[in-house]
Structures are given as C-alpha cells and as structure tokens.
Amino acid sequence: MLLAMNLGNSSLACGVFDRERLVTRVRIVSSVERSADEYEALLGSILKSKGVAPADIKASALASVVPDLNEVLGGAVEQLLGAPPFMISPAVDSGLSFNTDNYMELGSDLLANAAAAVALYRTSCIVVDFGTALSFTVVDSAGCVHGAAIAPGLRGAVHSLVSDTAQLPHVELQPPPRAIGTNTIHAIQSGIVFGYAGMVEAMVHRMQRELPERATVVVTGGMSPRIVDEISVVDDRAPDLTLHGVRLIAERNRVV
C-alpha cells in the first residue's frame, strides 16, 4: 500500500491506497510547532484506528507547499514507515508538459491536481481547489499545463475581514438564506460564500474564453463542500483529486 500525502498551510491530508483504490483517508491540522515525534505518533495512531498497520504501507509520497515542515514531516514518516517519502515537485516525472514561463514555480499540489485531472477525465480541465488558498489549474487533454490562478482562500478571507474590523463577528461559512443579508452574520456569509461563488464563475468563464476547447470544471479541496452547491459552472466534484495525483506521480516514478 501507498501513503499519499498533501501538506498545506492548514492541514495534512493523507490517503492510503491499495493500487488505485483509496482504502482510507486522514486529515490532521498542520503546525510548524509539532515535532517529528508528535507527527509520527499522531499519524500512526490515527492509521491504526482506521485499521491500517504502518507495516502494511510499503511506500509514501508527499506533495507539500510548506517547506518549513518538509524535514519534520519527512522525518516522522521515515520513523513510522522506515523510509522517507518521495517528494512531489515539477522536477520529477509527472507525465505533464508545461506552457508556462517557469514550470518550476508550479506548486506540488497543483501539479498533482493536473496529473489526476488528465488521467481521470482525459479532457481539458480547470481544477478549482478550495484549500488554504483558492487555486485554478488549467490542463489540456494532452497533459499540457497552461497555467494557474491563485486567490485568498475562504477561511483566510473570513479571518482577514474579522481581524481587520472591530465590530464584525466570526461566522460559520455556509450559504445564508438570501443574498441581501438582514443581519450581520447573514451579510458576512453572503459576501463570502456568494461572492466567492461569483468569483469562481467569473474566473472559469474568462479561462474558458482563452482555451481552444471547452474544459471540464472539477472542484476539490477541503473547503469546497461549504460553497460548491452555489457555483453554477461545476461539472464534477472530486474531493480526493490531489491525493490521486500524488499516487499517480508516485506510481509513474516507480515508488510503488
């Protein structure tokens, strides 16, 4: 089995794969304050609680956008599994080509999203990833990455709004009953949820106009369930897309 990991600024998402089958998934809060020992103990105990013995995992792969945690998490995985994880980056063989100014700038999570989109949909795709950041990755049916767009994520937008204003409360991110909020909570929910839904729709329409063929719009990311029903341009939901991309790149590099 393979342990595929996607490390973001807010969380560490893990999936245990038996070939292409996702056996189980784990999500824990990521923190630069944790030691390798703490990550090892936490990840090991959660996997065991889900019926997965670390001894059954033969290899691991990591896509990370938090360089400060790579060594710590890599050490934790090596302690848990006996070998460090294979690091996903544009420098490894992903099977993709690039129509960008500098392909080495592409984040490993966006690389994994593109690899998975090509393999699973076999058509041009716009992958909308609601993670700590909101990202759009454009890849065509031949596996050429044409570029990306990145905006602040939902949670960050709420935090920025509340921390920079004296009288606005923290709110739960969910769609309000109406776009015109009649109280402060609904007003914030409308601005964030409906505002971000509109931004996604506008960005997708702009990107579609720049492509020679219509692209399938795929939504992923931990924050996507809070907003995806409000977005009219979504063709498919793929909550584990990034993990599948990590798996596919690892397999291509004969990690497993």
Instruction: Return d(Cα 19, Cα 28) in angstroms, integer.
Output: 23
Instruction: Return d(Cα 122, Cα 248) in angstroms, integer.
Output: 14
In single-letter form, the type of residue at position 119 comes to A
In single-letter form, the type of residue at position 111 comes to L
The pLDDT tens digits for 165-186 are 656 667 888 999 999 999 988 9
| Residues carrying an active site annotation | 109
**CB atoms closer than 10 angstroms to residue 123:** 15
pLDDT score for 159: 78
Task: Answer for the pair 2, 58: CB distance below 8 angstroms, yes or no.
Answer: yes
pLDDT score for 138: 98
The pLDDT tens digits for 41-94 are 999 999 999 999 999 999 999 999 999 999 999 999 999 999 999 999 999 999
Sorted by where each starts, the structural domains of the chain and their CATH numbers stand as: 2-87 (3.30.420.40), 97-241 (3.30.420.40)
